[in-house]
Structure 1
Amino acid sequence: MKNLLGGNLAGIPLSSAACSHERQPKRLLALSSCDDIVPYTTSKNIPKLKQRKSVIGKMNKLGEGMDCLLQGIREHVSLSPNLTETVKGKLSLGAKILKVGGLEKIFKQKFSVKEDEKLLKVSQCYLSTTAGPIAGLLYISTDKIAFCSERSIKLLSPTGKLLRIRYKVSIPISKVMKAKESENVKNPSQKYIQVITEDDFEFWFMGFLNHQKTLRYLQHAISSTSSS
């Protein structure tokens, strides 16, 4: 990975090292395979069997969906060093969104937005950095992928003065080569979204409540730009 960012990218070089949180996924709904076994079948009970299998199939899908949601919640919360601070941060962010008048207005306040640019998706997540994961909002628009931290971070200026600034990253969609799902080698249930630019910069986003949905929006935005 390069140590300096190109002129079209704004941010700080990131660490691609996976977090070492060890967790075991839990099943909300566990249906044994023997539930599908019946002692005999006649022409009269075939419709009932089909209906039963349909219900079981739907229940399994519901269980899988809830598993994904719970896994996302566990991952999102566990990445924060302090649960109380996480809750306070979410409440503060929610109050700010209401005060400003919506996520789109916050997006326009934080980043330079073109006249015809449309905001497609906003997701709460964490950005992986060399200093550790930073909580914030990931914005996906027709022109860029942008991230802004929920809180200000402390930095020292060249003169030694302590500064408090928002951590921001802005990547033009036209410069993104691909976005793909990745996982923690030590904990495969922990998923990441890896964004790779044409200049070989890598950005790692994690802790989504639903990373697959966000990834679909990302890939759609990238493909739409490349085809236009």
Structure 2
Amino acid sequence: MGGLEKIYKRLFRVYDEEKLFKAYQCYLSTTAGPIAGLLFISSKKIAFCSERSIKVASSKGDLIRVHYKVSIPLCNIKGVNQSINSEKPSQKYIQVVTVDDFDFWFMGFLSYQKAFNCLEQARSLSFEQ
């Protein structure tokens, strides 16, 4: 079992029949600014985990450090769109829209087209199941 697969299984709940296709370094756009991390694409979901932990307030009011994580089952993805900044064409984004109309913007991929193609392939395979 490879390094990325171990990381994925440690960070997220993984089903027995789930297969990790690929992981890509990228940024997730948030209201607080972009967060660097890994986007995992599997046969069941896409999942993002920040590279570094962030500080958040606990229920007791203490500041604790946690990784910023997002997990979206493929069946809850309504659409995936490519977007390019018209003023800076080198800035490319992948928008993921969920069935409940939340959208997630991923950017800064080293292999943008490969990441988009992998995500599209994972979605098409999930439709077949």
Q: Equivalent residue of 1:209, what SS?
A: coil
Partner of 1:140: 41
Determine if the alignment matches structure 1 residue 167 to structure 2 residue 92. no
**CA-CA distance at 1:178 after TM superposition:** 1.7
Q: Which has the higher helix share?
A: 1
Secondary structure at the aligned position of 2:9 is classed as helix
How far has the Cα of 1:183 moved from its partner? 1.8
Shift of 1:197: 1.0
Q: Does 1:193 align with 2:94?
A: yes
Within a 5 Å distance, the mapping from 1:28-107 to structure 2 comes to 102-107=3-8
TM-score by length of 2: 0.94
Runs of at least 5 residues in structure 2 that lack an aligned partner in the other structure: none
Runs of 4+ in 1 over 3 A off after TM superposition: none
Q: Could you list the per-position Cα deviations for residues 33-75 of structure 1 after superposition, in whole angstroms to 9, with x for gaps in the alignment?
A: xxxxxxxxxxxxxxxxxxxxxxxxxxxxxxxxxxxxxxxxxxx
Q: Which residue of 2 aligns with 1:227?
A: 128
Deviation at residue 101 of structure 1 after TM alignment = 5.5
* Superposition CA RMSD, Å: 1.4
Q: TM-score, normalised by structure 1?
A: 0.54
| Distance in 1 of aligned mates of 2:44 and 2:75 | 8
Amino acid at match of 2:5: E
- The CA distance in 2 between the partners of 1:219 and 1:187, in whole Å, is 24
Larger Cα-atom Rg: 1
Matched residue, 2:103 = 202
Name the count of aligned residue pairs. Answer: 129
Q: What letter corresponds to residue 52 of structure 2 in structure 1?
A: R
Mapped to 1, the partners of 2:55 and 2:12 lie a distance apart of 20
Given that residues 121 and 217 in structure 1 are in contact (C-alpha distance below 8 angstroms), is that contact kept between their aligned partners in structure 2? yes
